[in-house]
Amino acid sequence: MDKESLNASDRKLIAKLVDAGQQHLFADWDAPGTADEAKAAFLALLKKTDKSYPGGLAGYISNARKLLAEAKRGENPFEGFVPHHPNTIDLTAFDATYDHYEALGQKQFDKVGIVLVAGGLGERLGYNGIKLDIPVEVVETTPYIAHYAACLKAMEARMESPRPVPFIIMVSQDTSAKTLQTLESNNYFGLRKEQVHILKQELVPAISDNDGSLALKEKYELILKPHGHGDIHMLFHTSGLAAKLEKEGIEHLLFIQDTNGQVFNAIPAALGVSVEKGYDFNSIAVNRIPGEAVGGLAKLVREERELTLNVEYNQLDPMLRATVSPEGDVPNDQGFSMFPGNINVLVIRMASYVRILEQSQGIIAEFVNPKYDDESKTSFKKPTRLETMMQDLPKLFGPDEKVGVTIFDRRWSFSANKNNMTDAAAKHAVDSPPESAATAESDFYLAGRMRLAATGTKVDEAAEELILGVPLTPGPKVLLRPSFAMTLAESREKFSGCSISGEATLVLDGKDISLEEVELSGHSALIVKACDGAKVTVKGAFENEGFELVKLTAEELASDSVPEYLRIRGYRFKNRGAATYEFDQPGKYVVGASS
Ligand code: UGB
């Protein structure tokens, strides 16, 4: 390859990059005829990265120079801001206020799109697949993606005039093929293919110095790195999808993460709050223990400017010490920080979102975090890159945009699966949330028990045990599927005079199932599934051997013949005779212990 064989677009790009100070990318090129394929691949990759960033590579380099100069000067983006407690709505109690917001939120289901950011590789978990494929529970083995799809279907079933809920999934080079494969091979888990929008995030070039020089691994080989979950905003803009959905009547987007089985428990009420308060941005939060490795939500005030934002936990404490609290982040009477924890579940109002995307080209509050060689800050230990986080959108807000924080009970709304068992055990040992497959599953049942208890059902609880150093409460395992109930009010209508013992299991899947005086004792398990149009009434006491928790042996833990999703939790459940009733034809049915 020589200069003559370059096409017009290659030349244009090279000229643009040389103008942007990137001559080094094209220096030392071999003579024409040598390494032509490598040169062509290099140019193709440069073009791809140029195209995927608003403003192209020249824009990226110019943003990098600006941010690197600020970093070198040691500028603190929060300089002069004083942290205050943010405006919060506390929904940690299941009271009349909670019901009020759930009812309001449910009415909004037909005007909402669900956005799932699933481009993360999950390095801390070390699972050999995509996290969306991991089962959130292993009584019935429901992958996260299947559970989320069921939640969308349940939302649709509760609309006055049902319409498909747009489901936007952000994938990356690491997760794209497997996510598509899982959707295709499972028939989109009952969703319509057209309602699922896949947006793919691309990597960005690494930068080797304060001048924004793109880093090379070797000749013709660019170093690329992830740009962060804030890419979702850029993709909403560049794809035109935000504007399109707004035209189709979508008023709010709800952003969720890849492994949080409980998130839909909070969604109806969170939406209700956004609607009633007119929030442009509503962060779903949980009470946070000071020092916990979760970003804190704070209202930052400087003269006339006021911003409610996530402040990463490592920045919050120094900021507090330098301003309002010499002791740093101190606990209140209940042991919680005055700055609630960000779980990165966001409700964003579409109208303001589309406007801000237009103004910013979807580039949201990028930052850079170079590791310098020494105090002169002239060179880096390794190449850096620009990053962006989805929760930083309010950094672009003005005085007219309203930001709120809605606090939910932690295990009702949040329990992620991020850590392998060894790290999870180490975290548990220092009282930090283990965030592992086992704890996510244990909390998923706990959230089911919370819903059940809110119906007036008597719910016993088994004692917590440790499996390979990770805590698990074995029961009762309560799986009230989204088809069965989306709100507490709806749940309450379906139970009267029931009780469930600590080791029992209850699975209810279907909109028209009700339980009267049902008693599950000992290890008993009851599974009832009803199709649309099947009205099932369940009555009486059930006694059977239910599900047994079986710990994996050392051989099983090391064996490829045991599914990896079991090995990452250290146990399985064995069905010893659960009472199971499935109704796949519409009609009226009564189920008793002896039927
Ligand atoms: N993700 C992407 O889709 N693309 C990416 O490039 C990166 C991630 P992590 P993180 O739960 O307690 C967040 O890695 O970023 C997706 C908040 O920033 O699990 O360390 C990925 O697939 C933090 O404030 O989390 O921390 C996943 O779905 C706190 O809320 C999601 O982004 C923290 O989560 C999060 O990625 C938390």
CATH number at residue 575: 2.160.10.30
Task: Identify the band that residue 1 occupies on the pLDDT scale cut at 50, 70 and 90.
Answer: low
Mean pLDDT for 27-43 is 92
Final residue belonging to a domain, choices 396, 412, 428: 412
Q: Whose CA is nearest to atom 1 of ligand 1?
A: 120
CA 471 to ligand 1 centroid distance, Å: 23
Any residues with Cβ below 6 Å from ligand 1, and which? 117-120, 170, 172, 201, 226, 228-229, 257-258, 294-295, 310, 342-344, 389, 416, 418
The counts of H helices and E strands in the chain are 17, 35
Query: What's the pLDDT at 538?
Result: 98
User: Quick check: 417 and 137 in contact, CB under 8 A?
Assistant: no
The pair of structure tokens assigned to 23 is: 């001559």
- Least confident piece of the model among 91-95, 196-200, 300-304: 300-304
Query: What's the pLDDT at 4?
Result: 57
Mean pLDDT for 440-460 is 98
Mean pLDDT for 310-326 is 89
pLDDT digits (tens, 9 = 90+) for 529-568: 999 999 999 999 999 999 999 999 999 999 999 999 999 9
- Number of domains making up the chain: 3
Q: Are residues 44 and 111 in the same domain?
A: no
Would you say residue 317 has pLDDT above 90? Answer: no
User: Quick check: 207 and 367 in contact, CB under 8 A?
Assistant: no
Mean pLDDT taken over the chain: 95
Q: Are residues 58 and 86 in the same domain?
A: no
User: Of 90, 91, 86, nearest to 297 (Cα)?
Assistant: 86
Residue 341 makes CB contacts below 8 A (sequence gap 6+) with 285, 286, 287, 288, 292, 294, 295, 296, 297
User: Quick check: 581 and 527 in contact, CB under 8 A?
Assistant: yes
Residue 411 makes CB contacts below 8 A (sequence gap 6+) with 262, 443, 446, 447, 450
Would you say residue 192 has pLDDT above 90? Answer: yes
pTM: 0.95
Q: Which residue is it, tokens 């606990």? A: 331
Mean pLDDT for 49-53 is 94
Q: Are residues 330 and 399 in the same domain?
A: yes
Query: What's the pLDDT at 567?
Result: 96
Task: Identify the band that residue 595 occupies on the pLDDT scale cut at 50, 70 and 90.
Answer: low
Query: What's the pLDDT at 593?
Result: 65
Residue 409 makes CB contacts below 8 A (sequence gap 6+) with 92, 286, 450
Final residue belonging to a domain, choices 381, 412, 443: 412
Cα(594)–Cα(16) distance, integer angstroms: 78
Final residue belonging to a domain, choices 46, 73, 100: 73
pLDDT digits (tens, 9 = 90+) for 365-395: 999 999 999 999 999 999 999 999 999 999 9
The pair of structure tokens assigned to 570 is: 């250290």
> What percentage of the chain has pLDDT greater than the value 90?
89
Helix H or strand E encompassing 38? helix 36-52
Would you say residue 521 has pLDDT above 60? Answer: yes
Cα(418)–Cα(436) distance, integer angstroms: 6
Residue 121 makes CB contacts below 8 A (sequence gap 6+) with 172, 174, 175
Mean pLDDT for 74-99 is 92
Encoded amino acid at 194, one letter: E
CA 229 to ligand 1 centroid distance, Å: 7
The pair of structure tokens assigned to 62 is: 């110019």
Helix H or strand E encompassing 558? helix 554-558
CA 73 to ligand 1 centroid distance, Å: 29
Q: Are residues 81 and 67 in the same domain?
A: no
Q: Are residues 14 and 28 in the same domain?
A: yes
Please count the other Cβ atoms lying within 10 Å of the Cβ belonging to residue 293.
13
- Domain ranges, residue 318: 77-412
Mean pLDDT for 476-503 is 97
Q: Are residues 396 and 473 in the same domain?
A: no
Query: What's the pLDDT at 270?
Result: 98
Encoded amino acid at 63, one letter: N
Query: What's the pLDDT at 3?
Result: 55
Query: What's the pLDDT at 121?
Result: 83
Give the number of the atom of ligand 1 that is nearest the alpha carbon of residue 391. 18
Task: Identify the band that residue 594 occupies on the pLDDT scale cut at 50, 70 and 90.
Answer: low
Cα(247)–Cα(75) distance, integer angstroms: 41
Query: What's the pLDDT at 6?
Result: 79
Task: Identify the band that residue 409 occupies on the pLDDT scale cut at 50, 70 and 90.
Answer: very high
User: Quick check: 421 and 554 in contact, CB under 8 A?
Assistant: no
Encoded amino acid at 122, one letter: G
CA 24 to ligand 1 centroid distance, Å: 34
User: Quick check: 500 and 479 in contact, CB under 8 A?
Assistant: no
Q: Are residues 64 and 101 in the same domain?
A: no
CA triple 530-531-533, angle to 5 deg: 105
3-state secondary structure at position 414: coil
Residue 431 makes CB contacts below 8 A (sequence gap 6+) with none
CA 557 to ligand 1 centroid distance, Å: 28
SS3 content of the chain, % helix, strand, coil (to 5): 35, 25, 40
CA 258 to ligand 1 centroid distance, Å: 8
Would you say residue 220 has pLDDT above 80? Answer: yes
Q: Are residues 254 and 269 in the same domain?
A: yes
Q: Are residues 279 and 398 in the same domain?
A: yes
Q: Are residues 60 and 104 in the same domain?
A: no
DSSP states along 428-497: HHTT----BHHHHHHHHHHHHHHHHHHTT-EE--PPPEEETTEEE----EEEE-TTT-SSHHHHHTTEES
Q: Are residues 425 and 402 in the same domain?
A: no
Would you say residue 442 has pLDDT above 80? Answer: yes
Q: Whose CA is nearest to atom 31 of ligand 1?
A: 257
Task: Tell me whether residue 329 is exposed, middle or buried, using C-beta atoms within 10 angstroms of its C-beta: 0 to 12, 13 to 18, 19 or more.
Answer: buried
Give the sign of the dihedral formed by CA 405, CA 406, CA 407, CA 410: negative
The pair of structure tokens assigned to 128 is: 């050999």
Give the largest Cα separation in the chain, rounded: 85
Which strands sit side by side in the sheet containing 525-530, from one edge to the other? 477-480, 505-509, 525-530, 579-583
User: Of 370, 469, 375, 356, nearest to 422 (Cα)?
Assistant: 469
Mean pLDDT for 200-228 is 95
Task: Tell me whether residue 187 is exposed, middle or buried, using C-beta atoms within 10 angstroms of its C-beta: 0 to 12, 13 to 18, 19 or more.
Answer: exposed
Q: Pocket of ligand 1, candidates 116, 117, 364, 392: which has the most ligand atoms within 8 Å of its Cβ, to mutate?
A: 117
Would you say residue 27 has pLDDT above 70? Answer: yes
Mean pLDDT for 53-61 is 95
Would you say residue 87 has pLDDT above 80? Answer: yes
Give the number of the atom of ligand 1 that is nearest the alpha carbon of residue 170. 3
Q: Are residues 363 and 508 in the same domain?
A: no
Query: What's the pLDDT at 2?
Result: 58
H-assigned helices in 53-201: 56-72, 96-107, 144-157, 176-185
pLDDT digits (tens, 9 = 90+) for 227-272: 999 999 999 999 999 999 999 999 999 999 999 999 999 999 999 9
> For the CA atoms of 158, 163, 168, 169, what is the dihedral angle to 10 degrees?
60
CA 518 to ligand 1 centroid distance, Å: 41
Q: The domain spanning residue 370 has which CATH number?
A: 3.90.550.10
Residue 334 makes CB contacts below 8 A (sequence gap 6+) with 287
Give the sign of the dihedral formed by CA 33, CA 37, CA 42, CA 48: positive
560: which DSSP letter?
T
241: which DSSP letter?
H
First to last CA, the chain: 79
Task: Identify the band that residue 292 occupies on the pLDDT scale cut at 50, 70 and 90.
Answer: confident
